Structure 1
Amino acid sequence: MSPAPFRFAAIGLDHAHIFGQVKGLLEQGGELVGLWTGDPSSAVAQTVKQTWPQFPWVENADDLYDDATIDLVVTAAVPGDRSEITVKALRTGHHVVTDKPGAISMEQLDEIERAVQESGKFWSVTFSERFEVPSVTKAGQLVREGRIGTVVQTLGLGPHREIDRVHLGTGATGRPDWFYDDSRFGGILCDIASHQIDQFLWFTGNSDGEVVHSAVGNFAHPDTPKMQDFGEILLKAGDAQGYIRVDWFTPQGLPTWGDGRLIILGTKGYIELRKYVDIAGREGRDHLFVVDDNGTEYLNCEDVALDYYPDLVRALSHGLDAAEQQQMFTVMRLAITAQQKAGKRGFAV
């Protein structure tokens, strides 16, 4: 069966996650009818033009907001600008798919929630480390099958590389200015760690959680004290615990942008994911290891089917699952809370 046709627009092209979002929607039969961004000269925007030269750009974003034939708006704008785009798109009758973080303050999040309720449209945050990583999908299947018993803890590691061609766009030599200002990118916990918060709730089966401890640091960027290059969170939800560590210290010697790992501890075994690289080990990505009473098993998950974008297309007609919609808000509330209460280390201000 062919994917259902639908029309979408891309508004705000400042982060490289837009490539995965647009690609995912196009593969589901979407027609990209227009693009707009506040800084068309940025490396990411220029790379979008080179990647998809066939799609039209508009000079005024209102031309897209006011187009009632557009079903969905996707955005990977500067994090601090995403809520404004989201709310305007919702209030003009469009569903919204936004890069994480979906908001960087409680005020922004509350406004989005009101707009979702009043518009009847959905707001989906693309937590790509769950939605676009086949090994995470496979791990979820194993957990739901009871392979490792009841999940009692997740350990999520989200290291990133500051200067990385995958995230910078063609021709860029460094990160844009907003990357070094937490008032615009939201802080490392609100930003990167929202991925790991999402996975903690999803794997433990909890609908809410509590931030027990959080901290951020700036240990290697004294000239840009509003940039945070390290962060950690301790979570709890019911009987489950979660520890998260995120950072910008991935060295150039690693063959990818970060050695992202996830360990899921259950009462009858554990699963480890080496999402993007198995250092000094197997080639490729999406490596899954599971250990239980029967022994150890390795699974290559590169070909596991993903369901996020197909689910979005179904949601255009049937609505987003209520629990999934609520988790979007819960994850961002926890991430913003962790950011707000975080102790500061090193040069961080």
Structure 2
Amino acid sequence: MPLNTRRHFLIGAASAMAMQRSLKAQSKPTTRLRFAVIGINHEHIFRMVKALRDGGGELAMIYDPYPDPTHGTQFLKENLSVKRARAEREVLNAPDIQLVVSAALPSKRAQLGIRTMRAGKDFLADKGGFLNLEDLEEARRVQAETKRIFAISYNERLLLPVSLKIDELLRAGAIGKVTHMWGYGPHGLYGHGPREPWFWLRAARGGILNDIGAHQADQFIHYLGADGARVLGSYAGNFENPDHTEFEDFGRVWFQSAGGTGESMLSYTKAKTTGFQLHLYGTEGRLEVFKSSGRISLVKPDGSRREFTVPSSTPCPWGTHLVDDILHRTETAMPQSHTFLASELAVRAHMVAVK
């Protein structure tokens, strides 16, 4: 069985079992592990915590070292009953905490993850997890030494229900062997409220390619394979935000692996976005995916089309997978090598970008 076909089969089987467990957990919640949050500087923390709770996790402690008046304030308000830690060390020393979750400033995530693994706990960061290769290599080394999990929430795939249908169609051979990916990731600048000052600074979050470009790198590896995956070239620029000279609101990146090629376009815009799009081209057709609406068009070489719509209420099993991995030391949510490689591609795209 070809590598990608076998991989999608295994992922699909694990997803089906995890979805069953997730539905059972929703009908009768059972705490399977306790986790803590350190850093609440991005709205993704709400989805990350929900996914873990759906998978049987209990939020048991919060430490907020970089108070955020928008997302942090709202998160704390919604979790008033959760214990507040007075320092990071209190969380890392807590014997009942198995996982630390963070949506802290992007520049703080890698070293926090390294400290967490050295403290004997697993770690989950919002994307992008890394701003430079030095932190990435240190995280790889510490992960190998400690055998802890360093996970990253690539939520444009992991937490969008339409991704489950994409995997199902690929496992069924709907478009044959995938040979090319085209991705478009438009993001609204102010869709989640005002941006904090750090958002515009290169030292705090890097650039567009190592940040939201990490989603595209994750998808490329997932659909085209990790073997020989590399960045062929990239571009980044600032077209709509001249008042923020360090900011990048547009980026493009080109990928290649033994499985095929990929290209992605990213943007931050003040206007209303069209939503995330993904096209997968195969030897027997293509998939056109409109992620925000959950729509998929399967187009065959003869021009015939089949349409699918995935309800946004469809449960995503990723949180259950990750809880399983923490409890059983498995890799059903995502192989550790995939997590790091997606980040490496994103960072390398940032480093070599023509500007």
After TM superposition, the score normalised by the length of structure 2 is 0.88
CA drift at 1:208: 4.1
CA gap of 1:6–1:218, structure 2 versus 1, over 3 A, is same
- Counterpart amino acid of residue 139 in structure 1: I
Q: Show CA shifts across 1:281-331 (max 9, x none).
A: xxxx21111112583111111254422111111101222429711011111
CA gap of 1:243–1:34, structure 2 versus 1, over 3 A, is same
Matched, 1:337 2:336: no
Query: Matched residue of 2:308: which SS?
Result: strand
- Counterpart amino acid of residue 265 in structure 1: Y
Q: Show CA shifts across 1:220-243 (max 9, x none).
A: 112211100000001111251101
Query: Matched residue of 1:160: which SS?
Result: strand
The separation in 2 between residues aligned to 1:209 and 1:250, in whole angstroms, is 33
CA gap of 1:319–1:251, structure 2 versus 1, over 3 A, is same
Name 2:309's counterpart in structure 1.
Answer: 300
CA gap of 1:66–1:265, structure 2 versus 1, over 3 A, is same
CA gap of 1:124–1:207, structure 2 versus 1, over 3 A, is farther
Name 2:19's counterpart in structure 1.
Answer: none
The separation in 2 between residues aligned to 1:99 and 1:116, in whole angstroms, is 17
CA gap of 1:30–1:159, structure 2 versus 1, over 3 A, is same
The answer to whether the 8 Å contact 1:68/1:93 transfers is: no
Q: Show CA shifts across 1:176-232 (max 9, x none).
A: 111111221121000001101110111113344121110100111122111000000
Match of 2:63 among 36, 42, 51: 36
The separation in 1 between residues aligned to 2:265 and 2:326, in whole angstroms, is 35
The answer to whether the 8 Å contact 2:224/2:259 transfers is: no
CA gap of 1:222–1:331, structure 2 versus 1, over 3 A, is same
Match of 1:262 among 278, 285, 290: 278
The answer to whether the 8 Å contact 2:234/2:349 transfers is: yes
The answer to whether the 8 Å contact 2:42/2:103 transfers is: yes
1:23-62 superposed matches below 5 A = 23-62=50-89
- Counterpart amino acid of residue 67 in structure 2: P
How many residues matched?
325
- Counterpart amino acid of residue 295 in structure 2: H
Matched, 1:100 2:110: no
Greater shift, 25-34 or 204-213, is seen at 204-213
The answer to whether the 8 Å contact 1:229/1:247 transfers is: yes
The separation in 2 between residues aligned to 1:100 and 1:41, in whole angstroms, is 18
Name 1:311's counterpart in structure 2.
Answer: 321
The separation in 2 between residues aligned to 1:40 and 1:33, in whole angstroms, is 19
Name 2:33's counterpart in structure 1.
Answer: 6
Alignment RMSD? 1.7
CA drift at 1:58: 1.8
- Counterpart amino acid of residue 343 in structure 1: V
The answer to whether the 8 Å contact 2:227/2:259 transfers is: no
* Greater percentage in helix: 2
The answer to whether the 8 Å contact 1:10/1:34 transfers is: yes
Name 1:190's counterpart in structure 2.
Answer: 210
The separation in 2 between residues aligned to 1:99 and 1:87, in whole angstroms, is 15
The answer to whether the 8 Å contact 1:102/1:125 transfers is: yes
Greater shift, 319-328 or 240-249, is seen at 319-328
The separation in 1 between residues aligned to 2:228 and 2:345, in whole angstroms, is 9
- Counterpart amino acid of residue 269 in structure 1: G
Greater shift, 199-208 or 69-78, is seen at 199-208
Matched, 1:237 2:261: no
CA drift at 1:86: 0.4
Name 2:116's counterpart in structure 1.
Answer: 89
The answer to whether the 8 Å contact 1:136/1:273 transfers is: no
Query: Matched residue of 1:243: which SS?
Result: strand
Query: Matched residue of 1:189: which SS?
Result: coil
CA drift at 1:49: 1.5
The answer to whether the 8 Å contact 1:229/1:248 transfers is: yes
Q: Show CA shifts across 1:82-122 (max 9, x none).
A: 01210111111111111111111101101111121111111
Query: Matched residue of 1:191: which SS?
Result: coil
The separation in 2 between residues aligned to 1:99 and 1:80, in whole angstroms, is 12
The answer to whether the 8 Å contact 1:159/1:250 transfers is: no
The separation in 2 between residues aligned to 1:296 and 1:336, in whole angstroms, is 37
Matched, 1:111 2:143: no
- Structure 1: runs of 5+ lacking an equivalent: 169-173, 277-284, 345-349
- Counterpart amino acid of residue 300 in structure 2: D
Query: Matched residue of 2:181: which SS?
Result: strand
The answer to whether the 8 Å contact 2:178/2:259 transfers is: no
Matched, 1:145 2:135: no
Name 1:67's counterpart in structure 2.
Answer: 94
- Counterpart amino acid of residue 275 in structure 1: K
The answer to whether the 8 Å contact 2:42/2:104 transfers is: yes
Q: Aligned residues: percent identity?
A: 28
